Amino acid sequence: MKHLFKFIGFVLILILSAGTMEAQKLGAFGSSVSKKVGPKTIAVPYTDVITYLGYAATGNEDAVVDGKKFYYIYVWIPAVAPELGVRMMSPVGKTKVKKPIESQAYLDNKDSEDYFDTYITLERSDIVQKDKISEEAVENANWYILARNDDSGEMPANPGGSKYNSLLRYKSEASDPLKALTIGLYRIGFTTYKRGEVSGTFLAEVAAPIKLPGVAVAKTIPELLEQMSE
């Protein structure tokens, strides 16, 4: 009987481990365009996808918005885009992605088991020229929230088994200048759904249905300017 209990315990550990491993599996990032493939309708994957791996540290937030601690990732979009997709997952775990941008904060904390319930926004600034970007200009810029998402059923579950990761797709509205995806400086804002501390590794992706040469993604404005100068 003792051996039986040990065997059952071993099986349960394998099942739970398999579930956690499965939770870290990230599929292709599908756009809003779909097509028929045999009997199935699938989302056409985005052509241009940039992956950023980071780490959110408790007490190191960039701003407090409506009582929530917000962090930002800055994105330079060098051309008009018909659509942008953003998704975020925490923790990164053992997820495999091609040629990600790995921040130093992520490299220093990649073995951390901390994760958070992601909540994301896609925001556009009124800065539309590269040579106008500076920390002071960004601080004084006007920012417009284009889209936001809390929980997405398309994203993998976190290690706790909850589908609390985030995904959004935003189509440009050419008829409204404030809602158009023009050339300019954007940012991904992220926090948690509930007010509190944000701590853990994360994977963030910015995607477009067309190739946008010259896109830059960074956690800080100096890092962004450095990328843009390369």
Using CB atoms within 10 A of its CB, is residue 180 exposed (0-12), middle (13-18) or buried (19+)? middle
Q: Please tell me the predicted confidence (pLDDT) of residue 24.
A: 59
Q: Please tell me the predicted confidence (pLDDT) of residue 36.
A: 83
Domain map (residue ranges) of the chain? 46-229
Distances (CA, A) of 64 to 152, 196, 199: 24, 11, 15
Q: What percentage of the chain reaches a pLDDT higher than 70? A: 90
Instruction: Yes or no: say if 25 and 13 are a contact pair by the CB < 8 Å rule.
Output: no
Tell me how crowded residue 41 is: count the other CB atoms within 10 A of its CB.
9
Tell me how crowded residue 170 is: count the other CB atoms within 10 A of its CB.
19
Q: What percentage of the chain reaches a pLDDT higher than 90? A: 76
Q: Which residues of 21-35 are buried (b: 16+ CB within 10 A; e: fewer)?
A: eebbebeebbbeeee
Q: Please tell me the predicted confidence (pLDDT) of residue 23.
A: 42
Instruction: Yes or no: say if 88 and 206 are a contact pair by the CB < 8 Å rule.
Output: no
Report how far Cα 103 is from the mean position of its chain's Cα atoms: 14
Model-level pTM? 0.87
Q: Which of 85, 151, 147 is nearest to 118 (CA)?
A: 151
CATH annotation of 46-229:
2.60.120.380
Q: Please tell me the predicted confidence (pLDDT) of residue 138.
A: 97
Q: Please tell me the predicted confidence (pLDDT) of residue 13.
A: 39
Question: Strand pairing partners for 194?
Answer: none
Which residues have a Cβ under 8 Å from the Cβ of 78 and sit 6 or more positions away?
Answer: 183, 212, 213, 214, 215
Q: Please tell me the predicted confidence (pLDDT) of residue 38.
A: 83
Q: Please tell me the predicted confidence (pLDDT) of residue 35.
A: 87
Residues of the chain scoring pLDDT < 70: 1-24
Q: Please tell me the predicted confidence (pLDDT) of residue 136.
A: 97
- Tokens standing for residue 48: 């241009």
